[in-house]
Amino acid sequence: MSGSHAGFILAAYGATALILAAMIGASLLGWRSARRRLAALEAGRGPAGPRAPDLRAP
């Protein structure tokens, strides 16, 4: 494999790996974040979930 062509092959596969990693990473992070937010909301712990009862004495 000639040196200059090896550089082009490496660049092509490197760019592809980076873009695929970005696609996979963004999808996984998005899913993890959404799942956590949904779990928190359904458990009533979310920012706009049902309010916790006020346990302080009146």
Any contact of residue 5 with other proteins (CB under 8 A)? yes
Dist CA 58 CA 51 (whole Å): 17
Any contact of residue 52 with other proteins (CB under 8 A)? no
Any contact of residue 6 with other proteins (CB under 8 A)? yes
DSSP 2-24: -HHHHHHHHHHHHHHHHHHHHHH
Dist CA 19 CA 46 (whole Å): 33
Residues of the shown chain interacting with other proteins in the complex, contacts defined by CB under 8 A: 1-2, 4-6, 8-9, 11-13, 15-16, 19-20, 22-24, 26-28, 30-31, 34-35, 37-38, 41-42, 46, 48-51
